Homo-oligomer: A and B are copies of this chain.
Amino acid sequence: MSRTPKPLIRSNIAYSTPDRIVVRGKDLPNEVLGHMNLGDFAFLQLTGKAATREQSAMFNAILITLVEHGMTPSAIAARMTYAGAPESLQAAVAAGLCGLGSVFVGSMEGACRMLSEALPDAQHDARQDGQSGAALAELEQIARDTVAAYRARGASVPGLGHPLHKPIDPRTPRLFQLAAENGMSGKYVKLMQLIGAEAERVSGKSLPINATGAIGAICCEFGFPWRIVRGFGVMARAIGLVGHIMEEGEKPMAIEIWQRIEDEASAHLREG
């Protein structure tokens, strides 16, 4: 199975020498530690660029929004895992992350994908705000076409509606406010809002933009490819899960959950 030539293996993220550790071109001890916060360093790790003050404010807010959502299926899975393998805290976090897929968290990429595919050209002029007359009319048409396409195939428009947070998702206005304050309220945010309004109009239902819709739109403003947006939820939730595991270690609930479910799930068999 000879293969020629072997491609070189290359990574541009980091390197070390005996006296240096360099990440994305920055000397970790001297140029990063004490000079950046964790969200900024995540931005550097992902993009290779130092965040501007505005990017820092917005990116930290996005990640924080995704850290913690209560006793989610993900948190329950992590706690169940920790109960069985407390010596492997990392495996408990891993188990909790495994479920961040198409139904929860991963769904965030849906809004980002919809917007970036609907408006591919805006990738490089994301700071334009779509408020001029011509631009607005164009965005309105895109919004109508987008909603119509989802309805035609019987699919829900991503980023709209929430089972609990009604009539509005309280994270959305705050995230859009921060986007405006930090120069990130451009065409994608506008398009998301127009899509929300159009979806409400044609469905006759209240469909507020939820947090994943807001984040999806702002990620488009950043120019992030939609395929990586799920990763923001994954890395943020890892923080949240460590919090749940820490609490599980101090005030366990996993064994009680297990016993209740075991009892109830098989009662009809034991009694049958």
Binding site for B on A (CB under 8 A): 1, 3, 6-23, 28-30, 32-34, 36-42, 45-46, 56-57, 60-61, 63-65, 67-74, 76-77, 80-106, 164-166, 168, 170-171, 173-175, 177-178, 181, 225, 227-228, 230-236, 238-247, 249, 251, 253-266, 268-270
Supply 27 A–B pairs (Cβ within 8 Å), ascending by A.
A1-B164, A1-B263, A9-B253, A11-B265, A15-B266, A18-B164, A18-B166, A28-B64, A37-B56, A37-B60, A38-B38, A38-B67, A38-B239, A41-B67, A41-B239, A45-B239, A70-B262, A73-B84, A76-B77, A80-B80, A87-B101, A93-B97, A97-B238, A231-B242, A234-B242, A257-B257, A257-B261
Which one of A57, A73, A266 has the highest number of Cβ atoms from chain B below 10 Å of its Cβ?
A73
Closest 10 CB pairs of A and B: A85-B101, A84-B99, A238-B238, A38-B39, A37-B37, A81-B99, A231-B242, A15-B266, A29-B174, A94-B94
User: A32 vs B97: C-alpha distance in the bound complex, in angstroms?
Assistant: 24
- Asked whether A83 lies within 8 Å of B73 as measured between CB atoms, the reply is yes
Of B65, B231, B258, which contacts A71 at CB under 8 A? Answer: B258
Distance in Å: Cβ of A268 to nearest Cβ of chain B: 6
Task: Please state the number of chain copies in the assembly.
Answer: 4
* A246 to B265 Cα, complex, angstroms: 16
Additional pairs, 16, CB under 8 Å, beyond known A16-B164, A91-B94, A93-B231: A1-B164, A3-B259, A13-B70, A14-B269, A34-B57, A38-B39, A38-B64, A45-B67, A70-B266, A71-B261, A74-B84, A85-B91, A86-B102, A87-B101, A88-B91, A231-B245
Alpha-carbon distance between A65 and B16 when the two chains are bound, in angstroms: 13
Chain B residue nearest in CB terms to A39:
B38
Q: Which residues of B contact A37 (CB under 8 A)?
A: 37-40, 56, 60
B249 touches A227 (CB 8 A): yes
**Contact call A102/B87, Cβ cutoff below 8 A:** yes
A91 in complex: contacting residue of B20, B42, B98, B264, CB < 8 Å: B98
